[in-house]
A and B are shown apart, each in its own frame.
Chain A
Amino acid sequence: MDNAELQPQLSSDLITIMEKRQPEALLVEYSRANKELRNLKGSMDLIKELRTKQKDIEGLKALMTECPEDKEMLNMATEELSQAVEEERRLQNQLLQSLLPKDDADERGCILEVRAVTVSFIFLNCVPGTGGEEASLFAMDIFKMYERYSLKTGWKFDVVEITESDLKGYKRNPSDHISLLLQVDVQLRHEDLRIDTYRSGGSGGQHVNTTNSAVRITHIPSGITVSIQDERSQHMNKAKALKVLCARLYEIERSRIHTSRSKLRSEQIGSGDRSERIRTYNFPQGRVTDHRVGITHHSINDVMQGENLDIFIDALLLQQEMDAVASFNSEQ
């Protein structure tokens, strides 16, 4: 089956866009259509392969009915047929997977935000009456766990910010909160940003020599502000503030669109809801339980070293896939 045969199955919008090729006005549309086509290519290739395989199967079956006397031939054909059927099943599965709604965020980097604004269950249960300090230490342990895991997995990462302001504060919200901010190429428009410094008012320039290079960026449409002051130059503070702003904006936009679609993903990201139980780290009993998949691992130390996180992650991925297949089937 070639692409020409496939074309009528593509959305008519897509085809119109690709055929017009008007460079100026449709550039954005065109590149979006191009991206969609690229995304479809995998599935199209699989369909092609599947059709070929199905033809092979038909051919083999025909061969077997044509010459039922030739034992040797029949054996060979049966052997090949069982292989082909196996292949067909594999391709069908693969195709099904490729057709599941994809989460754009899957292939992007992310910013992991571990907040110690809360006291976890464990501390409430085992060390009653203690406050934010333990929560902070625990948050740091969790952060280190992900840091080790990232190193092992070979992910590239930068530590953006570690704030210690919560070390002393005692907040009573009873659930530890780990959230992922996705790091992406959000298109920011110059005119939507207000960039300022904390030095407003003075003459600046050659008048003063200051080491303060803090930068605050306000995204006017959303009202979000990001202030960064831990880098050594204004330029670097601005670059980091833009990065964090993009991540926050993307996350807002994404959760708006995807809440309904990817149930499990939003569970992973966490809403910060106090009743939400994601994972329990029980140090006295040495176990970690992931409540989303109901799996308990009995060596908490390994987990904290970033060793066995994959047990949970693989289970979560499997569950996500199964959820997706289920919702896919019910939609048909």
Chain B
Amino acid sequence: MRYGSRGLKTGDLQTNSQYVVGCEHWRDMVLSVEEGVLIPRPETELIVDLVGDLVEGNGELREGLWADMGTGSGALAIGIARILGPCGRVIATDLSPVAVAVASYNVQRYNLQDKIEIKLGSWFEPLKNVEGQFVGLVSNPPYIPSHHIIGLQAEVAKHEPRLALDGGANGMNDLLHLCHGAASMLKPGGFFAFETNGEKQCKFLVDHMQKESKSSFSGVDIVSDFAGNKRFVTGFRAKSHNPTNPNEWTVKIN
């Protein structure tokens, strides 16, 4: 196994057990992980449930194109690809070459290489050529405020990649970038779900989306995880006519 077990470094007792054994159980899958890739969290599993509930009654979403930005181990991309219909596809992106390699390996292990395309690059950049064609966007971007990194659980702060954790001064640099770009990436009626640090970020983002780009989104909502933390911001690209892009009148929804 390419990303199989790694030896425990001497004197390094506070490392993550998942890096030692080289894998993590996530949903009904076993994903290969290694240092340099964020270990997928149980909270993030819920995004797949949200998508699952949605695609069950919506053929267009089930058979459309999805993106998982900042895919890391590929968890969300693989979880979603497994619940999409035969025509459903996922593009997964990551800025880290290690993540791209690990995600590709996991995609092959689940034999999903025809359904998931992995691209190296930052957020929307590798998706430019398919702008406006997505029926869904998901992401678990870095959202920890920079000055909190040092106070994280030791295993996390010391061994997990800072690139996957540090969301800038208030933790929302990447989340805001994702929210701004979502409107132009999504088809009208398309869905987005982003993981956040908690209530504060969720509320800020919802306020922001309602103020800044009121007409672009509909049904913006906050979803809690099982520990009771407000964890996800979800919503849809508004179906109404967008004057900046008159071509979208031709896109038929439902």
Contacts and interface: CB of A to CB of B under 8 A. Distances in A.
Interface of A: 195-197, 199-211, 213, 215, 232-236, 238-239
Interface stretch (B5-13, B22-30, B56-64, B94-102): B22-30
A178 to B, nearest CB: 31
Contacts of B45: 233-235
A234 B195 CA distance: 17
15 contacts: A196-B227, A197-B227, A203-B229, A204-B229, A204-B231, A205-B198, A206-B164, A207-B156, A209-B41, A209-B153, A209-B155, A209-B156, A233-B25, A233-B26, A235-B42
A195 B226 contact: yes
Contact of B27 (A199, A211, A236): A236
B226 A196 contact: yes
Given A205-B197, A206-B142, A209-B39, A234 B165 contact: no
Contacts of B155: 209
B137 to A, nearest CB: 19
Interface in B1-54: 16-18, 25-28, 30, 38-39, 41-45, 48-49
Given A205-B41, A208-B152, A211-B17, 12 more contacts: A197-B42, A203-B198, A205-B43, A205-B44, A207-B153, A209-B16, A209-B156, A215-B226, A232-B25, A233-B42, A234-B42, A235-B27
B139 to A, nearest CB: 13
B25 A206 contact: no
Given A233-B25, A235-B27, A206 B228 contact: no
B36 to A, nearest CB: 15
Contact of B197 (A197, A199, A203, A233): A203
B42 A206 contact: no
Contacts of A232: 25, 30
B68 interface: no
A276 B17 CA distance: 50
A9 to B, nearest CB: 39
A195, A205, A210, A211 pick with most chain B CB within 10 angstroms:
A205
B225 to A, nearest CB: 6
Contacts of A202: 227
A32 B27 CA distance: 34
B48, B153, B160, B231 pick with most chain A CB within 10 angstroms:
B153
A195 B225 CA distance: 9
A206 B226 contact: no
Contacts of A210: 42
Interface in B137-193: 140, 142-144, 152-153, 155-156, 160, 164-165
B227 A206 contact: no
Contact of A205 (B17, B25, B195): B195
Contacts of B17: 211
A236 B26 CA distance: 9
A74 to B, nearest CB: 68
B18, B198, B225 pick with most chain A CB within 10 angstroms:
B225
B42 A200 contact: no
Nearest to A195: B226
Contacts of A234: 42, 45, 226
Nearest to A239: B28
Given A205-B195, A207-B156, A209-B16, A196 B28 contact: no
Given A200-B228, A234-B226, A206 B165 contact: yes
- By Cβ-Cβ distance, the 5 closest A-B pairs, closest first, are A232-B25, A234-B42, A235-B27, A233-B25, A208-B153
Nearest to A208: B153
A201 B198 CA distance: 12
A200, A201, A234 pick with most chain B CB within 10 angstroms:
A234
Nearest to B42: A234
Nearest to A202: B227
B27 A233 contact: yes
Given A233-B26, A234-B42, A236-B28, A206 B143 contact: yes
A209 B160 contact: yes
A205 B229 contact: yes
A238 B226 CA distance: 10
A273 B205 CA distance: 58
A197, A204, A238 pick with most chain B CB within 10 angstroms:
A204
A238 B156 CA distance: 25
A214 to B, nearest CB: 10
Nearest to A231: B25
A204 B153 contact: no
Nearest to B195: A205
Contacts of A207: 144, 152-153, 156
Contacts of B164: 206
Nearest to A196: B226
